[in-house]
Amino acid sequence: MDAIALLTIFVLSIFVGMEVVSKVSAVLHTPLMSGANAIHGVVLVGAILVTGKANTSLELGLGLAAIVLAAINMVGGFVVTDRMLEMFKPKPKEGESK
Amino acid sequence: MTPTWVRLAELAASVLFILALKGLSSPKTARRGNLLGATGATVATVVAFFYGEKFYGGPIQHLPLIIIATAIGSVIGWIAAKRVQMTQMPQMVALFNGVGGGAAAVVSTIEFLSAGDPAQTRAALAATVFTVMVGSVSFTGSILTFMKLQELMTSRPVVIPAGRYITSLMGLLTVGSAVVLVTWLDSAGNASSTFLFILLGLSLVMGLLLVLPVGGADVPIVISLLNAFTGLSVAASGYVLGNVLLIVAGTLVGASGTLLTRMMAQAMGRPLTNTLFGAFKAKAATSAGPTEERPIKSASPEDVAIMLAYARKVIIVPGYGLAVAQAQNTIRELVELLQAKGIVVDYAIHPVAGRMPGHMNVLLAEANVPYEQLKEMDEINPEFAETDVALVVGANDVVNPAARNDPSAPIYGMPILNVDQAHQVVFLKRSMRPGFAGIENEVLFDPRTSLLFGDAKDSLTKVVSAVKSL
């Protein structure tokens, strides 16, 4: 894909990114940050792609390291966000305590 | 050319990410939003396993190793995320962010090193340089943030001698080597890999230098900023690889993260530059005064119980100390007791109570405190003047009037909860140690203030039984 097409996607994504979070309430700042954090874990895809064509052992080693790091970011990010949001259940059960 | 089904799958993943962010902006849809995001990420990852074939003109190599590495990372991430205490969650997010930034930097470095693409365009080169630089800054910056929050090192701002000049000089060197890397090609038309490693090293140091002078309550804003950084570096790595999904996902995070950072900085009532560089301007704030000799009024749990039980209106101000002591359930028990006596009780939630915006809401929700009892700062502040007792549990900076009155204080300008306007104030504190930001709190010495020292949970348990026996 040519550079201008990629640039177009980039610019439009900026506007979408700004727009979708513009009305978030302060209560959700932390989970939103955490969820966004998990989304950039998708760099895992990039790590897989470069590792998949690694020719030297240096490239392979670095690539595998990048995969491990990116997978930690992605999986850990979504799981920790889910744990946070689990607590925002609409109605907690009455009188339940530990 | 990438096969059409791969590109369609990536489009689906991009849409899922947008819906995820949209969902995360509202309490009702937040959890579903997060699951949508996870679905998108799973789709993207699985597709990547099959995807190299046509894209790089050969089958994807090392697939077993790749799958093993993915599995190892996933298990580590899963276990870490499941085990972490909710109180320690901010530093966990910082750590996840750091490794993501590191991964982006490594990806671009590999792409740079692989001699297979001699015809790298200048634009791709610039994107590589950007990823390496920003990803590395995010990596070391986040690790340092983690250490500050985990209290592996001091959470106060660290200002090294002549720090401002060293940071500026390093910044210039970093940008300089980036420019050299993009503009100066050898006779074969290749960029210098030596300079890439110099840039890598400089950027790693830069990350440390940027976060060191940021202190205390400002650390969460830095996490958010670094999160946006990582997003942008992922987007740039997508440009390097010609991968649309990475561009979209990275840019979404970069843009929303930047906006979120600004909103957080606004909640703290100060511009972002102040957060990052404020420590350079602040005088060496000496809290050395004759603090130990100033009179304070300490109270027994019974005294506190009586004050609370005969009040008409009580406001609870929970802080990080409450969470650390795992006293969320005990405070709820106390509040329920008081409400049974017909006393009006509310929780006043400062936007940055805990360690991150919204952190305290998460912690109290964990203890099943009804959502309606949590009042935001602007809503509750006018009510302090007609409140009999403000009970401050493990909070300090967010009720410190120095933010209003003392222009030299590092937190000056941050909106605070006006507990000093309540008829009586009770602090449950572990010690006279100042809060996260390291500033003395004048309210502690007010004659209307009583202090109950001890672990928040122990103290609250004692107060609860004292209230019961009244």
CATH of the domain at B395: 3.40.50.1220
- Could you write out the DSSP letters of every residue in B123-180? HHHHHHHHHHHHHHHHHHHHHHHHHHHTTSS--S----TTHHHHHHHHHHHHHHHHHH
Ramachandran quadrant class, B161 (left: phi over 0; alpha: psi -120 to 50; beta: rest): beta
Report the interhelical angle of B63-83 vs B30-49 (nearest 10°): 160
Confidence of residue A96 (pLDDT cuts 50, 70, 90): very low
Pair B304, B265 in one domain: no
Q: Could you tell me if residue A18 is inside a domain?
A: no
Confidence of residue B120 (pLDDT cuts 50, 70, 90): low
Q: Could you tell me if residue A63 is inside a domain?
A: yes
Ramachandran quadrant class, B457 (left: phi over 0; alpha: psi -120 to 50; beta: rest): alpha
* DSSP reduced 3-state for B2: coil
- Test B93 with A34 for CB contact under 8 angstroms: yes
Asked if residue A91 has pLDDT above 50, the reply is no
Number of residues that this document lists for chain B: 470
Asked if residue A77 has pLDDT above 90, the reply is yes
Pair B148, B192 in one domain: yes
- CA of A8 vs chain B CAs: smallest distance (Å): 11
Q: Could you tell me if residue B29 is inside a domain?
A: no
Marked catalytic residue, from B218, B346, B397, B420: B397
* DSSP reduced 3-state for B461: helix
- The amino acid sitting at B21 is L
C-alpha distances in angstroms, B429 versus B176, B334, B367, B455, B459?
50, 17, 21, 7, 9
A33, A56, A87: best to mutate for the B interface, most B CBs within 10 A: A33
Question: What backbone phi and psi angles, to 5 degrees, belong to B98?
Answer: -60, -45
- Test A20 with B256 for CB contact under 8 angstroms: yes
Pair B274, B312 in one domain: no
* Closest to B396 in 3D by CA, of B364, B379, B420: B420
Pair B89, B230 in one domain: yes
In chain A, alpha helices (H):
3-20, 29-39, 43-52, 57-71, 77-86
- Test B259 with A3 for CB contact under 8 angstroms: no
Of B249, B281, B313, the residue at which a domain comes to its end is: B281
Pair B323, B443 in one domain: yes
Q: What mean pLDDT value characterizes chain B?
A: 84
Q: Could you tell me if residue A74 is inside a domain?
A: yes
Q: What mean pLDDT value characterizes chain A?
A: 85
Nearest chain A Cα to B106, which residue?
A66
Pair B309, B222 in one domain: no
pLDDT of residue B283: 42
Report the interhelical angle of B89-113 vs B193-211 (nearest 10°): 170
C-alpha distances in angstroms, B106 versus B206, B258, B262, B383?
17, 23, 29, 53
Of the partner residues B20, B26, B73, the one whose CB lies closest to the CB of residue A39: B20
* DSSP reduced 3-state for B96: helix
Asked if residue B440 has pLDDT above 90, the reply is no
- Test A43 with B234 for CB contact under 8 angstroms: yes
Rg, Å, chain B Cα set: 26
- CA of B31 vs chain A CAs: smallest distance (Å): 6
Nearest chain A Cα to B55, which residue?
A49
Of B281, B314, B331, the residue at which a domain comes to its end is: B281
* DSSP reduced 3-state for B451: strand
Q: Which uninterrupted H or E stretch holds B435?
A: none
Q: How many CB atoms lie within 10 A of CB B468?
A: 12
- CA of B134 vs chain A CAs: smallest distance (Å): 14
- Test A42 with B123 for CB contact under 8 angstroms: no
Asked if residue B287 has pLDDT above 60, the reply is no
Pair B270, B334 in one domain: no
Confidence of residue B285 (pLDDT cuts 50, 70, 90): very low
Encode pLDDT of B406-429 as tens digits: 877 777 777 888 998 999 999 888
- Test A32 with B21 for CB contact under 8 angstroms: yes
Q: Is residue B361 within 8 Å of B285, Cβ to Cβ?
A: no
- The amino acid sitting at B421 is Q
Q: Which uninterrupted H or E stretch holds B301?
A: helix B301-309
Pair B262, B353 in one domain: no
Encode pLDDT of B133-147 as tens digits: 999 999 999 999 999
Chain B contacts of A84, Cβ < 8 Å? 86, 89, 362
Which residues contact residue B109 at a Cβ distance below 8 angstroms, ignoring those fewer than 6 apart?
A: A62, B128, B132, B196, B200
Asked if residue B452 has pLDDT above 50, the reply is yes
- Test B77 with A82 for CB contact under 8 angstroms: no
- The amino acid sitting at B274 is N
Pairwise CA distance, residues B111 & B97, whole Å:
22
Q: Domain count of chain B? A: 2
In which domain, by residue range, is B148 found?
A: 84-281
pLDDT of residue B334: 92
Of the partner residues A46, A70, A77, the one whose CB lies closest to the CB of residue B243: A46
Of B281, B314, B337, the residue at which a domain comes to its end is: B281
* Closest to B377 in 3D by CA, of B360, B394, B364, B355: B360
- The amino acid sitting at B133 is M
Strand-by-strand arrangement of the B389-393 sheet: B374-376, B344-349, B313-318, B389-393, B424-429, B449-453
Pair B215, B349 in one domain: no
pLDDT of residue B83: 92
Q: Is residue B345 within 8 Å of B335, Cβ to Cβ?
A: yes
Q: Which percentage of chain B shows pLDDT scores above 70? A: 89
Pairwise CA distance, residues B126 & B265, whole Å:
30
Encode pLDDT of A1-39 as tens digits: 678 888 899 999 999 999 998 888 777 888 899 999 999
Q: Is residue A19 within 8 Å of B19, Cβ to Cβ?
A: no
Q: Pick from A27-36, B196-205, B358-367 the range whose average pLDDT is largest.
A: B196-205
Mean pLDDT of A70-77: 96
Q: Which of residues 2-61 of A touch B (CB under 8 A)?
A: 3, 6, 9-10, 13-18, 20-56, 58-60
Look at B82 and B368; give whichever has higher pLDDT.
Answer: B82
Which residues contact residue B417 at a Cβ distance below 8 angstroms, ignoring those fewer than 6 apart?
A: B317, B348, B350, B377, B380, B381, B384, B398, B399
Of the listed ranges A77-81, B15-19, B232-236, B457-461, the least confidently predicted one is B457-461
Q: How far apart are the first and last CA of chain A?
A: 57
- Test A82 with B107 for CB contact under 8 angstroms: no
Written as six digits, the tokens of B262 are 């600004």
B145, B260, B328, B339: best to mutate for the A interface, most A CBs within 10 A: B260
Q: Could you tell me if residue B201 is inside a domain?
A: yes
pLDDT of residue A27: 74
Q: Domain count of chain A? A: 1
- Could you write out the DSSP letters of every residue in B397-430? GGG-THHHH-TTSTTTT-----GGGSSEEEEEES
pLDDT of residue A48: 92
Q: Could you tell me if residue A6 is inside a domain?
A: no
- Test B62 with A60 for CB contact under 8 angstroms: yes
Which sign, positive or negative, has the C-alpha torsion B44, B49, B50, B51? positive
Q: Which percentage of chain B shows pLDDT scores above 90? A: 38
Chain A contacts of B99, Cβ < 8 Å? 69-70, 72-73
Q: Could you tell me if residue A76 is inside a domain?
A: yes
Question: What backbone phi and psi angles, to 5 degrees, belong to B73?
Answer: -60, -40
Encode pLDDT of B300-319 as tens digits: 899 899 999 999 999 999 98
**Is B397 noted as a catalytic residue in this protein?**
yes
Pair B166, B202 in one domain: yes
Look at B436 and B224; give whichever has higher pLDDT.
Answer: B224
Of the partner residues A38, A45, A67, the one whose CB lies closest to the CB of residue B243: A45
Q: Could you tell me if residue A4 is inside a domain?
A: no
Of the listed ranges A93-97, B229-233, B447-451, the least confidently predicted one is A93-97
Pair B144, B189 in one domain: yes
Pair B351, B243 in one domain: no
Of the partner residues B28, B34, B47, the one whose CB lies closest to the CB of residue A81: B34
In which domain, by residue range, is A54 found?
A: 42-85
Nearest chain A Cα to B231, which residue?
A40
Of the listed ranges A80-94, B161-175, B215-229, the least confidently predicted one is A80-94
Pairwise CA distance, residues B13 & A65, whole Å:
24
Asked if residue B324 has pLDDT above 90, the reply is no
Question: What backbone phi and psi angles, to 5 degrees, belong to B416?
Answer: -125, 165
* DSSP reduced 3-state for A96: coil
Mean pLDDT of B81-96: 89
Q: Could you tell me if residue B378 is inside a domain?
A: yes
The 3-state secondary structure of A29-56 reads HHHHHHHHHHHHHHHHHHHHHHHHCCCC
